[in-house]
Amino acid sequence: MSAVVEQISDAEEIRVDVRLTPEMRREVTQLGALAVAQDYDVDCPEVAQALADERRGWAQRLDRMEAMEKEALSPAKKMLADMKAWAERWFGPAKADLTAARDLAGEKLLEWDKREKARIAEENAKREAEARRLRQEAEQRAAAERAKAEEAAREARRKAQEAETARLKAEAEGNARAAAAAAAAAAKAVEAARAAIENGEARAQRAQLQATAHVFAMPQAGAVKIEGQTLKDNWAAELKPGVTMDQAKKDIAVAIAAGGNDFLLPLIEINMAARGPLNKLAAALMDKMNVPGFRAVNKQTLAGSRK
C-alpha cells in the first residue's frame, strides 16, 4: 500500500511516499485477538495465568504496531513540516506586514478615540458651565423683575390706603362726591398693585424661558462614528500598584477568614499566568470589583468589520 501526496508551487514540489513494509502488512492483517479474549472464561488460576500471558503479548504487539505506525508516518510528518516552511516563506512576510499594519492602525484609532472622548468631555464641561451662567443670570434678572414689581405694588397699595383713608374722611364729613372719588382712586391703586405683580412675574418667567431656549440651542459635542470599527470593553484584573502576588494572596486569605467572602476561595492559588476566575470577576463587576490586592481595568479593543 502506498500514497503519494504532491504540493506544487511555481518554484518547488513537495512529495511524500507512504508505504507498508511486508512486516507492517503482516501485523495489520493479523486480526482475531478480540475473539480470543471473548472466548476466555476465567474460572481457575491456570486460565487466569493464560489470559494474563495473552494480554502481555497483545500489549507488546500493540507497542510494536504503534512504533511501525510512527515510522510509516514519519515521511508525512516531514512533508507537513516542509509545507509549513513553504507557507511561512511565501505567506509569512505578507501576513506579518498586514498584522503589524492592522495592530498599529488599531492602536492609533484607540488613541484617537481617547482624545475624542477627552475633547467631548471638555466641550460638554464648557457647555454646562455656560448653561449654568445663563441660568444664573436669568435667575438674577427674574429676581430683579420680581423685586421691582413688588416695589411698584407696595407704592400702589400705599396710594390705595391713602385713598381709602380719604374716602372714610369724606363720608364722615358727608361729602359724597369726594368719597366716591376717593373710592375710585383706591380701586385704581389696588388694580395697579395687582397688575404690577402680574407684569413682574411675566417678565421674570420670560427671562428664565429665554435662558432655557439659549441652553437648548447650544450644540452638544459628540464623536464622529467611524464606519466598520467598534470598541469593545475588555475588563481584566491586575495587581494594584505596589502589591505583590504573595501579598495579594495573604490579603485574600485574611478576607476569607473574616467571613462573608467565600467567593474568593478559588483565588487562593491564583497566579499571574492563570487568573481566569479573577478576570471573570472583573468582566462581571467591572470597576465595582473588590478583591484584595487587585483592581479591574478596562483595556478596550478595536473590532473591525471585514465586510
pLDDT in tens, 72-105: 888 888 888 888 888 888 889 999 999 899 889 8
- At residue 8, the pLDDT reads 42
If one counts the domains in the chain, the total is 3
Contact call for residues 196 and 153 (beta carbons, < 8 A): yes
Mean of the per-residue pLDDT values of the chain: 81
Least confident range of 17-21, 27-31, 96-100, 262-266: 262-266
Q: Are residues 24 and 82 in the same domain?
A: yes
- At residue 63, the pLDDT reads 93
Q: Are residues 9 and 96 in the same domain?
A: yes
Q: Are residues 143 and 169 in the same domain?
A: yes
Express as a percent the part of the chain with pLDDT over 70.
Answer: 85
Q: Is the residue at 276 inside a domain?
A: yes
Over residues 48-59, the pLDDT tens digits come to 999 999 999 999
- At residue 294, the pLDDT reads 82
Q: Are residues 45 and 135 in the same domain?
A: no
Q: Which of 102, 134, 159 is the last residue of a domain?
A: 102
Q: Are residues 141 and 211 in the same domain?
A: yes
Q: Record the cell numbers describing residue 94, joined without a space.
A: 505578507
Domain that holds residue 170: 116-217
Q: Are residues 122 and 201 in the same domain?
A: yes
Q: Is the residue at 222 inside a domain?
A: no
Give the residue, 44 or 292, on which the prediction is more confident.
Answer: 44
Q: Which of 73, 102, 131 is the last residue of a domain?
A: 102
Q: Are residues 182 and 264 in the same domain?
A: no
pLDDT of 6 strictly over 50: no
- At residue 196, the pLDDT reads 85
Q: Taking the complete model, does pTM exceed 0.75, yes or no?
A: no
Over residues 182-192, the pLDDT tens digits come to 889 888 988 98
Work out the average pLDDT over 121-134: 88
Alpha helix locations (H) across the chain?
Answer: 22-29, 33-39, 45-173, 176-217, 245-257, 276-285
pLDDT of 260 strictly over 80: no
Q: Is the residue at 107 inside a domain?
A: no
Q: Is the residue at 150 inside a domain?
A: yes
Q: Is the residue at 204 inside a domain?
A: yes
* Cα end-to-end distance, the chain, whole Å: 47
Helix (H, G, I), strand (E, B) or coil at 234: coil
* C-alpha–C-alpha distance, residues 189 and 144, integer Å: 22
- At residue 5, the pLDDT reads 42
Q: Are residues 208 and 278 in the same domain?
A: no
Q: Which of 70, 102, 134 is the last residue of a domain?
A: 102
- At residue 41, the pLDDT reads 92
Q: Are residues 86 and 129 in the same domain?
A: no
Contact call for residues 33 and 49 (beta carbons, < 8 A): no
Q: What is the largest CA-CA distance in the chain?
A: 152
pLDDT of 213 strictly over 70: yes
Q: Is the residue at 148 inside a domain?
A: yes
- At residue 287, the pLDDT reads 81
Q: Is the residue at 111 inside a domain?
A: no
Over residues 144-191, the pLDDT tens digits come to 888 988 988 888 888 889 888 988 988 888 888 888 888 898 889 889
